[in-house]
Amino acid sequence: MNGQVNEPTRGPDTATGRPDARLEQLRERLAAVRQRIDTAVAAAGRQERPPQLIVVTKFHPAEDVRRLATLGITDVGENRDQEAAEKSAALRGLDLRWHFIGQLQSNKAKSVVKYAHAVHSVDRPQLASALARAMAADQERTGRAPLDCFIQVSLDDDAGGHRGGALPADVPALAEQLAGAEGLRLAGVMAVAPFGADPAPAFEKLAELSARLTAVHPGASGISAGMSQDLEEAVRFGATHLRVGSDILGPRPALR
């Protein structure tokens, strides 16, 4: 130390005193996305019920998640179990909620419930059963809170569309199963807008499905919808959870 006054604390790199350029970049991009959300919320008259922002950090390093936490982010999304398990373990001391948003094999349920606050991609009875079994074991051990489960719905017109999800007709039975499972909390519905199409009709359909669901399960009012490209439309149609990745973190590095 040479007695020089360091710049104000700017992030993880305080040991070297060097400003953290990545932190500043994330700060700016996050501010821009928050501004877009605020504008959409005001346009929809939803100031009393703003959506929860989940920053999708898949393919980006744990250090970026740490930077986001210093910027006030509390909720992050991941779509691969191994990557999410590693990052959440590396960042255990931080006050973060991990949202699993990707296609999930039933044999990964045990691993996912160890770190996940919510699973947004429950799309079939076998997966719901596997999560319930895994939660029963985990809750006994840790006493953790129930796992929030969103039913992922396919909004493609062709059945079993390529972006995954249950058919709308299968939602009521899956909802009954989740609502009746100890350790699971039926949180609502989730969807990804069909690729290359206008997202508005898709999100409108999701809002209708949500209304039908909450008529039977009043507590299941969550609507997880909206990504970088279409968050404004999602807010307009009532999204309660936005899953935004690339407009905050930049393009994802190529698949390893």
Ligand X SMILES: *Cc1c(COP(=O)(O)O)cnc(C)c1O
Q: In the complex, which residues of this chain contact ligand X (CB under 6 A)? A: 56, 58, 79, 101-102, 192, 227-229, 243-247
Helices and strands of the chain, counted as H and E runs: 9, 8
Asked if 55 contacts 248 with a C-beta cutoff of 8 angstroms, the reply is yes
Indicate the residue among 22 and 58 with the shorter CB distance to ligand X.
58
Q: Which is nearer to ligand X, 108 or 243 (CB)?
A: 243
Query: Over 68-127, what HEC string results?
Result: HHHCCCCEEEECCHHHHHHHHHHCCCCCCEEEECCCCCHHHHHHHHHHEEEEEEECCHHH
**Smallest separation, CB 77 to ligand X (Å):** 7
Parallel, antiparallel or unpaired: strands 97-100 and 75-78: parallel
Nearer Cβ to ligand X, position 183 or 223? 223
Helix, strand, coil distribution of the chain in percent, nearest 5: 45, 15, 40
In the complex, the smallest distance separating the C-beta of residue 142 from ligand X, rounded to whole angstroms, is 27
Q: Nearest residue by C-beta to ligand X?
A: 245
CB distance 4 to 18 below 8 Å: no
How many residues does this entry show for the chain? 256
Q: How far is the CB of 12 from ligand X (least distance, A)?
A: 23
Nearer to ligand X, 187 or 244 (CB): 244
Question: Is the Cβ of residue 183 or residue 226 nearer to ligand X in the bound state?
Answer: 226
User: Maximum CA pair distance of the chain?
Assistant: 69
Smallest gap from residue 241 Cβ to ligand X (A)? 10
Residue number with CB closer to ligand X (188 or 245) = 245
Closest approach of Cβ 54 to ligand X, in Å? 8
Least distance (Å) from ligand X to the CB of residue 3? 45
Q: What is the dihedral of CA 63, 64, 70, 74, to 10 degrees?
A: -110
Task: With beta carbons less than 8 A apart as the criterion, state whether 94 and 112 touch.
Answer: no
